[in-house]
Structure 1
Amino acid sequence: MPHAALLETLIVVFLYILAVFFGIKVITQTAQPAKALGYLMLLFFLPGIGLLIYLGIGENRRINKIYDRKLWRDIRRYEQVKQRIHKRSLENLAANEKALAPFSNVVHLLLKDTLSPLTLHNEVEILRNGEGKFPAVIKALREARHHIHLEYYIFENGIVGDEIKAILMEKAREGVEVRFVYDDFGSKDIKRRFLRDLRASGVQVYPFYRVRFFANRLNYRNHRKIIVVDGRVGFVGGINISDRYSNAVTGKPSGGRAGHSGPSGLASRSAREKVYWRDTHLQIRGSAVYSLQYLFLSDWSFASGQDVEFHDSFFPRSQVQGQTLVQMASSGPDSLNPTIMMANNAIIHNARRYVYITTPYFIPNESVYDAIRTAALGGLDVRMLVPFHSDSWIVNKAASAYYEDLLNCGVKIYRYQKGFVHAKTIVVDDSLAMVGSANMDNRSFELNFETNALVYDQGVAVQLKEQFLADLDDSDRLDAARWGRRRGFTRFQESVARLLSGIL
């Protein structure tokens, strides 16, 4: 018995020595205090389990080096087009100075930080849910003549996935260049035969950062949902390729997955059955498609190891005469700054009348949290639409921990009841609409590759606002007084989850 007790003591001491070692690593290598605090809590309160979690989803120097190489490739392309993009964007800004006045600093932010051009001559269509997106995508794919480029976090076998697969194979046999990048974690249920069939028909397919071991399976993922056809039409937003995203497809979710993976890759039992899926995507025609093309080709170069030349067939002269202004906000582990997070802050700070936010995962950092509270305290109409039930218990608890303070500041919070709301949108003052792949959480701001489209157009903004207000009819508004009477144990759970919010 003494020997057993001694062995137990030695194991505990050894685990705490490891906790101290990795704790020093966390402090020196983790930039965000909330994230560092979360890891330190795990390491010292659960020394064995916490260490495994840190090794599984924590910092990874090898990945950083890999993305350094990706960033270097992107910078080379950046220098090739820098002057031309900068000049044209400033011309568009000057020509539309009055319309863009409230958000000119947002335009400058994206232009200076990521060289994201402000493009004119665009036509933008809001696609509601999968039943709105997939027919438009299938039509565009069938009309492809030169190339099809797809980049998706989740691509699953099923009615939708199989139909798109058949079109890609058909187009490849016709001589159309088809390139497909899928995230190796998000799309882990793609069947090998599915990929073999694509490659056999001439489709070029590569995973984005192949998962070989568990370590960092959940971090540094490509969360983008992009399609570019012939350099003329593009799709961007929150809708992946899967049957669950279309309410026109009945039955259980396809692909054998136990529900959609949330920000930490976890799925709840409630997500196993088919539920009504509320989501938003954009179809864009015009010069803004060039930005999506640039993003795809940069990610393709990283995933495939190929350097694709930026020839004119990828960036054909646009014939679109529309006057919609569009700019892309993109960021990821290879970014010098958390661009999407900074764009969110700038948009909220520049609002003058209202800010309407839809997000499935609300775990903000302090700057975004303060921006929302400041807007509400300043008298703006600030509303948030979030899920009634998230697909991750701990994420739901962490998000709930923020609600009481927001309610007390005057933020109106609505929880969607009809099904699961997965859209990621912001609409402000009938002037700006943002739709994309980024959630309002640390994972989207810092860890994943994301892309949002900013549309500076009254017509699009009003349409998105109307959809937001219609969704409120299917939602329950939180009452501040009733919410404040939550049980003590519930508050405790939320507080613990919030302490871990930096790593969720």
Structure 2
Amino acid sequence: MHWYIISALYLLLVLFVCGKVLYDIRSTSKTFAYLLVIILMPGIGIIIYFAVGANYRKNKLYSKKIISDKKLLAEVREKIVRESEKALNTGEAEVKNHKKLARLLLNDHSPLTGNNEVKLLLNGEQKFPEVIKALKAAKHHIHIEYYIFENDNIGNQIKDLLIQKAGEGVHVRFIYDDFGSRSIRKDFVRDLKEGGVEAYPFYQIWFIALSNRTNYRDHRKIIIVDSCTAFVGGINISDRYINNDPKQLYWRDTHVMIKGPGAYYLQYLFICDWNFCAGKKLPVVPEYFCSEKTGGKSIVQIAASGPDSDTPTIMYSLLETIGMAQTELLITSPYFIPGEPILDALCVAAMSGVKVKLLVPYKSDSWLVNAAARSYYGVLLDAGAEIYLYQKGFIHSKTLVADGQLSVVGTANMDHRSFELNFEVNSMIYDQKIAGELSDAFNEDLKSSIKINPQRWSKRTLFRQLPEKLCRLLSPLL
């Protein structure tokens, strides 16, 4: 008799959890994926949902942050509008050809800023010397926000420099994701604080081993120095990106350094996240927002979104970019699980005569993600897109070049996690010169890649495709 009672109780539990999934998750495909896991994997499916899918703390956790952001936004809105209208009216052809995109991001209060110097930084070998140079030159403040900050050689080198600058009277503020940067949570952060650096974790985790907080992470990589010099892109603070050991896996990644008012919105994002993490309001003063003209010619806009956003701004900006392309799209993504909207947009572009080239890893650092990604390739190949598999190492760049005019360099992967679950940020650079440099880097990466043959791909056995199809069912969860 007791088995009937247990079965009845379990059935009620399944019905309750299924109801919670239907209530909490807006995405139809994601809802279906979780329902499938819960029903087909008794017990385990429920654990998986509450471990990585449940957003039972989302509203409570982020409601204060949303309110704080809106208050801050009201204080800086006037300058946003002024700067953007100036750039729209006097902008180069790159902006005029992408006015709809610019206005889409302006609707999200991201200013369109001119007179920026932008430098493309390939791998840690180019990024870290520029970062160290900028940090050494800091006079007023240093703001750093990172998903992964490692307790290794480059991490300690930057830590020592931050402590040194704090001792010189520079205001140093540091946000680290408590999950991604778990190697620095104890002694490393304590050393920073004792050295005068203000440091706070994002979404603090008390017990890493028992953590179920893999969602809603701060995946951003931002540095702002003295309001006018900023860094953003895919490269975390870690020795793995420097590639000085031929025995280790080669990491290929991309970052940008922005000098000028393009740092403005990155500063806004940092202050919003700082107020949330530190639990205290950082005063909005002119010293935090760049007003200098560098003499640069790049026009820059920032796309950012996260669990606190009213809309998935990054996904929308990518959809708009893809839809507006006339001749060519060069896309690099380490985790390509695009979802139907992005996939359809790429197929439409390819079938409309746009040359679509997608560069992805030959092998991802996750077998599950790699298999799910491969399930999307056939549709793209049938539409006429070209897909290349990078073999030199692991390609971690998140970049896009549209028509040789617009460049996207940021932290967001083309996957559900970046579009819905994590805090992400992309730089949108309206500059033909930068687009040319990024295109050259893309074509150089193709030399270390193999092109998928559409005919051979279509003839793969059903047995080989089966694991990919099964993993695709779980793609909204990845």
Q: What per-residue deviation string (whole Å, max 9, x for no partner) do you get for residues 156-192 of structure 1?
A: 0111101001101111111111100000010112151
Q: What SS does the aligned partner of 2:182 have?
A: coil
- The corresponding residue for 1:145 is 139
Which residue number in structure 2 is paired with residue 204 of structure 1? 198
Distance 1:383 1:204, change over 3 A: same
Aligned with 2:156 (options 147, 156, 162): 162
Give the aligned partner of residue 451 of structure 1.
425
Between the aligned partners of 2:177 and 2:304, the Cα distance in structure 1 is: 17
84, 88, 97: which is aligned to 1:93? 88
Partners of 1:350 and 1:301 in 2: CA distance: 37
Distance 1:99 1:317 in 2: 23
After superposition, residues 336-355 of structure 1 pair within 5 angstroms as 336-355=310-329
**Aligned-residue offset at 1:215:** 5.5
Note if contact 2:220-2:411 (Cα within 8 Å) is conserved in structure 1: yes
The secondary structure found in structure 1 opposite 2:426 is strand
Partner amino acid, structure 2, of 1:320: T
TM-score of the pair, normalised by structure 2? 0.97
Instruction: Tell me the amino acid that sits aligned with residue 286 of structure 1.
Output: G
Q: Per-residue deviation at 1:70?
A: 0.3
**CA distance in 1: counterparts of 2:239 and 2:34, whole angstroms:** 36
Q: Would the aligned equivalents of 1:57 and 1:215 in 2 still touch at CA under 8 Å?
A: no
Matched ranges for 1:183-262 at <5 A: 183-190=177-184, 192-212=186-206, 214=210, 216-248=212-244
Native 8 Å contact 1:102 1:351 kept in 2 = no
Listed one character per residue, the Cα deviations across residues 16-71 of structure 1 (whole Å, up to 9, x for unaligned) are 32121111111122100111111101110012000001111113232222212101
Q: 1:30 to 1:316 in 2, by over 3 A?
A: closer
Q: In percent, how many aligned pairs have the same letter?
A: 47
Give the distance between the partners of 1:151 and 1:127, measured in 2 at CA. 18
3-state secondary structure, aligned to 1:105: helix
1:468 aligns with 2:442: yes
- Answer yes or no: is the 8 Å Cα contact 1:157–1:191 preserved in 2: no
Structural mapping, 1:413-492, within 5 Å: 413-492=387-466
User: Once the 2 structures are TM-superposed, how far is the Cα of residue 7 of structure 1 from its aligned partner?
Assistant: 5.3
How many residue pairs were aligned?
Answer: 476
Deviation at 1:372, TM superposition (A): 0.3
Counterpart Cα distance in 1 of 2:442 and 2:10: 50
Per-residue deviation, 1:13: 4.2
Q: Does 1:334 align with 2:308?
A: yes
Matching of residue 309 in structure 1 with residue 303 in structure 2 = no
Deviation at 1:97, TM superposition (A): 6.1
1:341 and 1:59 map into 2 onto residues whose CA distance is 22
Query: Shift of residue 250 of structure 1?
Result: 6.3
Structure 1 residue 486: Cα displacement: 2.3
User: Counterpart in 2 of 1:269?
Assistant: none
SS in 1 for 2:419: helix
| 1:310 to partner: Cα distance | 1.0
User: Of residues 46, 63, 83 in structure 2, which corresponds to 1:51?
Assistant: 46
Residues 233 and 256, structure 2, Cα contact 8 Å, conserved in 1: yes
- Do structure 1's residue 75 and structure 2's residue 70 form an aligned pair? yes
Letter in 2 for 1:231: S
* Offset of residue 405 of structure 1: 1.1
Q: Which shifted more, 12-21 or 238-247?
A: 12-21
Residue 29 of structure 1 corresponds to: 24
- Partner of 2:382 in structure 1? 408
Name the structure 2 match of 1:261: none
Q: Which residue of 1 aligns with 2:268?
A: 294
Distance 2:75 2:245 in 1: 45
Relative distance call for 1:248 and 1:17 in structure 2 (3 A) is same
- Supply the distance in 2 between the matched residues of 1:93 and 1:250 (Cα, whole angstroms): 47
Change (3 A) 1:9 1:358: farther
Q: AA paired with 1:151? A: E
| Structure 2 unmatched ranges of 5 or more | none
How far apart, in 1, do the equivalents of 2:386 and 2:36 lie? 32
8 A Cα contact 1:16 1:47, kept in partner: no
Distance 1:316 1:371, change over 3 A: closer
Q: Alignment RMSD, CA only?
A: 1.4
AA aligned to 2:318 is: N
Between the aligned partners of 1:12 and 1:248, the Cα distance in structure 2 is 58
SS of equivalent to 1:341: helix
* SS across alignment from 1:47: coil
With the length of structure 1 as denominator, give the TM-score of the two structures: 0.92
**Partner Cα distance (1:148, 1:203) in 2:** 10
Deviation at 1:10, TM superposition (A): 4.8
Letter in 2 for 1:211: I
* Partner secondary structure for residue 125 of structure 1: strand
Distance 2:228 2:246 in 1: 33
Say which of 89, 111, 119 aligns to 1:117.
111
- Given that 2:260 and 2:290 are in contact with CA atoms closer than 8 Å, whether structure 1 keeps it comes out as no
Change (3 A) 1:29 1:470: same
Q: Measured at CA, do residues 460 and 97 of structure 1 come closer, stay the same or move farther in structure 2, by a change above 3 Å?
A: closer
Matched with 1:497 is 471
Which moves more between the two structures, 134-143 or 9-18?
A: 9-18
- Structure-2 change in CA distance of 1:250 and 1:299 (3 Å): farther
3-state DSSP of counterpart to 1:24: helix
